[in-house]
Structure 1
Amino acid sequence: MLELSILGFLYEEPLHGYELKERIKALSGHVRPVSDGALYPAITRLVDKGLLDQHTEPGSGAAPRRILALTDKGREDLLERLRRPKQAEITDQVRFNTLLAFLRHLGDPREQAAVLRRRQEFLETPASFFYRDGEPVRAEEADDLFRRGMLRVARATGAAERAWLAEAIALLEG
């Protein structure tokens, strides 16, 4: 998720590390905060793989700023990650939102629709936070107020997402 965010934001424009961190934090930091201890090693890995280029510019204060930019190889890598996301990027809500944030960079509407279809298929599989005898527990079957609340909110959110996915896929497939 972190590498996808780095590549996605740098696809749009070169950024210095602090600005990149702030954008990533705005996208998912409220759910999964990004630390310098995770961000800068990820940047180093992407530079080592030839996906990012970095150079130093004078800073507005005393310290110079390291500017990061996507290489051609990095652009291709991002597009491939968007075209063929890992299963966890389809099933995990936060990871899927990260994928959605950059899916527009995948220019082919059919490829975009294919990614959305994978999420749609995942959401059609009966699931719950809680199970009884191997079966998902529905909100009406939950044995306490708080679990009923969790399940009702998840049901409403899932219904809204499924409706949006159907609309988006129809639009993309024309």
Structure 2
Amino acid sequence: MLELSILGFLYEEPLHGYELKERIKGLTGHIRPVSDGALYPAIARLVKAGALEQRTEPGSGAAPRRILSLTDTGRTDLLARLRHPKDAEITDGQRFFTLLAFLRHLPDPADQAAVLKRRQVFLDTPASFFYREGEPVRAEQAGDPFRRGMLRIARAATAEEKTWLTETLDQLPGPPRP
């Protein structure tokens, strides 16, 4: 998800590494903080792969700043990642939010809809944090108030997300959806 965030933010505009880190931090926040030890090696990999380029500009102080920008290869890579996200980017809530942050960059609404439909199918599959005898445990069946709370909160969030997905899919141009 770090590389997707890097590509996504640089698709929007060239950035200095610190600015990029702050934007990623704003997107993932306390859930998945990004360290310099993760960010700068990811940037180096993307530069080596030809997805990013770096240029040096004078800094506001004495030190020059390295500005990162996306190459044509990077744009192509970002669009491919958005068009065909990995299963974990559909099933993991935070990864899906990262994907959503940049999904508007896909030029074809049909491609956007296909990604949202995958998430909708995932949410329609019965699941739970807890299982008893191979069956999902519902909130009403949870043995303690804490697990009951987890399940109720997840159910409410899922219901709201399903509503949003249906509304958004209905608004995207293209053929009517069943």
How many angstroms does 1:63 deviate by?
Answer: 1.2
Q: Distance in 1 between matches of 2:90 and 2:111?
A: 14
Q: Distance in 2 between matches of 1:93 and 1:47?
A: 28
What RMSD over aligned residues (CA atoms) do the two structures have, in Å? 0.6
Q: How do residues 10-159 of structure 1 correspond to structure 2 at under 5 angstroms?
A: 10-159=10-159
Q: Distance in 2 between matches of 1:29 and 1:45?
A: 23
Asked whether 1:172 is paired with 2:172, we answer yes
Of all paired residues, the percent bearing the same amino acid is: 77
Q: Distance in 2 between matches of 1:115 and 1:51?
A: 23
Q: Distance in 1 between matches of 2:165 and 2:132?
A: 30
How many angstroms does 1:34 deviate by?
Answer: 0.2
Q: Distance in 2 between matches of 1:171 and 1:80?
A: 23
Deviations 1:74-112 (A, max 9, x none): 001000000000000000000000000000000111110
Q: Distance in 2 between matches of 1:20 and 1:74?
A: 16
CA contact under 8 A between 1:113 and 1:173: conserved in structure 2?
no
Task: Give structure 1 stretches of 5+ with no counterpart.
Answer: none
CA contact under 8 A between 1:5 and 1:98: conserved in structure 2?
yes
Q: Distance in 1 between matches of 2:138 and 2:32?
A: 28
Instruction: Say how many residue pairs are matched.
Output: 174
Q: TM-score, normalised by structure 2?
A: 0.96
Q: Secondary structure at the match of 1:53?
A: strand
Task: Give structure 2 stretches of 5+ with no counterpart.
Answer: none
1:144 alignment partner AA: D
Q: Secondary structure at the match of 1:157?
A: helix
1:43 alignment partner AA: I
Deviations 1:91-148 (A, max 9, x none): 0000000000000000111110000000000000100110000110000000000000
How many angstroms does 1:33 deviate by?
Answer: 0.2
Q: Which runs of 4+ in 1 moved over 4 A?
A: none
